[in-house]
Amino acid sequence: MSTTHIAAEIGSIAPTVLLPGDPLRARHIATMFLDDCREVSARRNMLAFTGSYRGMPVTVMGSGMGIPSCAIYATELARSYQVRRIVRVGTCGGIGDVAIGDLLLAQSASTDSGFNRLHFGGHDLAACADFGLLQAVHEQARRSNLAVRVARVFSTDCFYDGDANILPLLARHHICGIEMESAGLYGVAMRENIQALSVLTMTDHLQRDEHMAADQREHG
């Protein structure tokens, strides 16, 4: 048995899933960090791998880019594979007082997408991370001396040619990261009653000409 978009056998996906956007990044994470890891799905080349991390079963799977793609996988993972916890691991653009390489834990995700409104009767959903997960990751990151901060982010549907005035607006609301998936992931997680968190590495500052070096991008 599998789902429309995931070929894995039911039971072959762990309750905890790491969800990078890029399926090749999923393979990289899985081979670097998981023991006994095996590929469990390659439908549409959206690779998924299950293994264990310090004895705990973990799946790493690509989500694709943008809210619709990410939400399809998150929904099928929660509904058909009994996934309880999804941690998006991705990158974001930076606004305001953030530095290249900072890790942003997305407490909330505002958006220009209509996705959550479609599911929420036309109202504005407060798309937010699971507090327990946020707290646990924050504590662990601090213990590991990582430059981590709890942040408000913005999930946009437009990588190119979006609202030209968006950056000052985001800065005005002390939103310091922009990416394309978290608001949808959080909306799905709220409906499906699972835990979700986005952990985002800031790679490009959108108000200064600062960018992460290519080798740091690849290996970070």
Identity of the residue, 130 or 181, whose beta carbon is nearer to ligand HPA in the bound complex: 181
- Interface with ligand HPA (CB under 6 A), residue from 44, 114, 132, 159: 159
Q: In the structure encoding, which two tokens stand for residue 107, read together? A: 């407490």
C-alpha to C-alpha distance for 111 and 155, rounded to whole angstroms = 5
Question: How many Å separate Cα 99 from the centre of its chain?
Answer: 19
Q: Which of 83, 6, 80 is nearest to 48 (CA)?
A: 6
Minimum gap (Å) between residue 159 Cβ and ligand HPA: 5
Residue 215: active-site member: no
Q: Is 92 in the site for ligand HPA (CB under 6 A)?
A: yes
Q: Which of 82, 63, 70, 41 is nearest to 188 (CA)?
A: 70
C-alpha to C-alpha distance for 107 and 176, rounded to whole angstroms = 11
Residue 91 · residue 220 · CB < 8 Å: no
Minimum gap (Å) between residue 200 Cβ and ligand HPA: 8
Residues 174-193 as x/- pattern, contact with ligand HPA by CB under 6 A = ----xxx-------------
The label of the residue with tokens 């974001």 reads 92
Q: Which residues pair with 56 in a beta bridge?
A: 53
The residue from 161, 204, 209, 215 that is catalytic is 204
Q: Is 110 in the site for ligand HPA (CB under 6 A)?
A: no
Query: Which residues have CB under 8 Å from 53's CB, separation 6+?
Result: 33, 34, 35
Q: Is 93 in the site for ligand HPA (CB under 6 A)?
A: yes
SS3 133: helix
Residue 51 · residue 34 · CB < 8 Å: yes
Identity of the residue, 50 or 91, whose beta carbon is nearer to ligand HPA in the bound complex: 91
Residue nearest to ligand HPA (CB): 93
Q: Is 206 in the site for ligand HPA (CB under 6 A)?
A: yes
Q: Is 16 in the site for ligand HPA (CB under 6 A)?
A: no
Minimum gap (Å) between residue 121 Cβ and ligand HPA: 27
Minimum gap (Å) between residue 75 Cβ and ligand HPA: 21
Q: Active-site residues: which are they?
A: 204
Residues of the shown chain interacting with ligand HPA in the complex, contacts defined by CB under 6 A: 91-93, 156, 159, 178-180, 204, 206
